[in-house]
């Protein structure tokens, strides 16, 4: 079973938060606020935060830019994962993924199912890795952001979490690029 190894140090990671919305502003971005509060409470570094429109090119460009920065280890987006015509975040970001994280979506939906039942199928939450940066694509509700952080990300972004965590593999995420390959 999972546990915290108190003999290991806590290693803060740099995180960027992107809200995808045609209607939100920094004054009423409750989902972004939820993530920021949890990131800071956990002891991580919020490197930057932004809001972009539901536009594939804008979403992809912002996230691609962040994945090229040395101070950002993780990008978390919120919004645009549903099925309406403006929900394009997975379409914008999945082409950036060098590796897709199917397990993130599966675990997120299991946690969500326990809270909202079959309504969880209306989310296309996803995750992956691009440019040695973890990317997590969350729905645009504060509840979904809480579920993803509290149920998955808080533990996986803690170096002390055992038996394994994302932090311990971060230095090796770009091995394929250093070997000259893309896979």
Listed by start position, the domains of the chain span: 11-169
Residues of the chain with pLDDT under 50: none
What's the confidence (pLDDT) of residue 177? 66
Distance (Å) of CA 150 to CA 24, 91, 146, 171: 23, 26, 6, 24
Between CA 155 and CA 167 the distance in angstroms is 10
- Predicted pLDDT at 128: 98
Residue 126 is predicted with a pLDDT of 98
Angle at 155 between CA 149 and CA 161, to 5 degrees: 175
Two tokens, residue 38:
């949890």
102: its two tokens: 């199917």
The alpha carbon of residue 141 and the mean position of all alpha carbons in its chain are separated, in whole angstroms, by: 14
Spatial neighbors of 118 by CB under 8 A, at least 6 apart, are none
Q: What is the CATH architecture assignment of 11-169?
A: 3-Layer(aba) Sandwich (3.40)
What are the beta bridge partners of residue 99? 129
Find out whether 39 and 74 touch, Cβ atoms under 8 Å. Answer: no
Predicted confidence at residue 174, as pLDDT, reads: 86
What pLDDT sits at residue 68? 97
Q: What is the pTM of this model?
A: 0.95
**Looking at the DSSP assignment, which residues form a beta bridge with residue 130?**
133
Q: Residue 77: in which H helix or E strand, if any?
A: strand 74-78
Place of tokens 């039942």: 117
Structural tokens at position 16: 């960027």
pLDDT, position 179? 61
Please provide residue 163's backbone torsions phi and psi, each rounded to the nearest 5 degrees.
Answer: -85, -10
């Amino acid at each position: 079973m999972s546990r915290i190894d108190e003999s290991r140090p806590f290693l803060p990671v740099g995180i960027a938060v992107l809200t995808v919305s045609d209607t939100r502003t920094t004054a009423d971005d409750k989902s972004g606020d939820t993530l920021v509060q949890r990131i800071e409470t956990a002891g991580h570094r919020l490197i930057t935060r932004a809001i972009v429109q539901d536009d594939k090119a804008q979403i992809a460009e912002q996230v691609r830019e962040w994945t090229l920065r040395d101070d950002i280890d993780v990008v978390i987006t919120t919004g645009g994962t549903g099925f309406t015509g403006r929900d394009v975040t997975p379409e914008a970001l999945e082409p950036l993924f060098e590796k897709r994280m199917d397990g993130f979506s599966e675990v997120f939906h299991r946690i969500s199912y326990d809270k909202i039942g079959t309504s969880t199928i209306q989310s296309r939450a996803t995750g992956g890795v691009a440019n040695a940066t973890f990317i997590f694509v969350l729905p645009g509700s504060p509840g979904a952001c809480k579920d993803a952080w509290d149920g998955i990300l808080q533990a996986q972004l803690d170096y002390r979490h055992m038996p394994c965590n994302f932090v311990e593999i971060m230095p090796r995420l770009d091995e394929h690029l250093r070997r000259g390959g893309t896979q």
